[in-house]
Amino acid sequence: MGTQADADGTVPVPIPTRLLVHALVREDGTVDAGELYTVAGLLGMTDQQVRLCIKRLVAEGRFTHEGRGRKALLRAVADVSGSITPDVAYVRHAYRQDHGLAAWDGVWHLFAFAIPESSRTARDALRDTLRHLGAAPVQSGLYVSANPIEELVEAQARHLDVAHAVTCLTSTDLRVGGRDDPHALAAALWPLDDIAARHDRLADLARVCLDRLAQPDSPTGPEQLTMAIQLAATFTHAMEPDPLLPPEL
């Protein structure tokens, strides 16, 4: 992880070295190692952290490595698994909501599963997928979302070979613990105050960066990259727990 306080004392969220590498991938799919080490240093990371991260990414088959040291070139391997696509669609949906283009139809989407302990790894992976997609646990083995994420959930269930143990259903009269008002349900199911605080932190950092860019002594290229990566990390920190509730909720 790397952090670096801004001039006004604002400390962005910790930045994983892995995120830094991905953030520096250029349009041709390559990462310049010299640029990577320079920006990492500005973020308070050591060269050893960067080297270990590169080694892990290459071992996982996510990048190839050409050359040595700061003159090396990393080349991203094609995302054949399609693992990035859901995140892209998720962010796109968030912007559609912000522009009033994704109104809620009053339907809750529920997902139930009963996966035995012998398939614990698959069960945990499915649970992580549901949480990543913004679904909240209602009780053991039952999750709810305000968005139609069935296609993504079922695709993951098939990938994990547990589709036979997953049930999808919808409801317009959901009641949990005696609550049936949609606003009350949303407030009870998701940590809305914490999520809002994360977005406020992102807005604060964005203002700091804009002020810095407006100063006469504009930041250097590496400094601008550092700000962009800090913003990306803080954006991710805000979006990860966000269930993308529609404005109606």
Q: What is the pLDDT along the chain (249 residues), one digit of tens a residue?
A: 555 545 444 556 788 888 889 888 888 888 999 999 998 998 888 999 999 999 999 998 889 998 888 889 999 887 544 455 556 777 888 899 889 898 999 999 999 999 999 999 999 999 999 999 999 999 999 999 999 999 999 999 999 999 999 999 999 999 999 999 999 999 999 999 999 999 999 999 999 999 999 998 888 888 888 888 888 889 888 988 899 999 889
Name the residue among 187, 192, 166, 191 with its Cα closest to residue 177.
187
- Is the dihedral angle over the CA atoms 153, 158, 161, 164 positive or is it negative? positive
Supply the pTM of this predicted model. 0.74
**The pLDDT of residue 81:** 44
Name the residue among 124, 127, 132 with its Cα closest to residue 86.
132
Find how far residue 160's CA is from the centre of its chain. Answer: 21
- Is the dihedral angle over the CA atoms 152, 160, 53, 30 positive or is it negative? negative
**The pLDDT of residue 5:** 47
Classify residue 117 as left (phi > 0), alpha (psi -120 to 50) or beta: alpha
d(CA 124, CA 167): 16
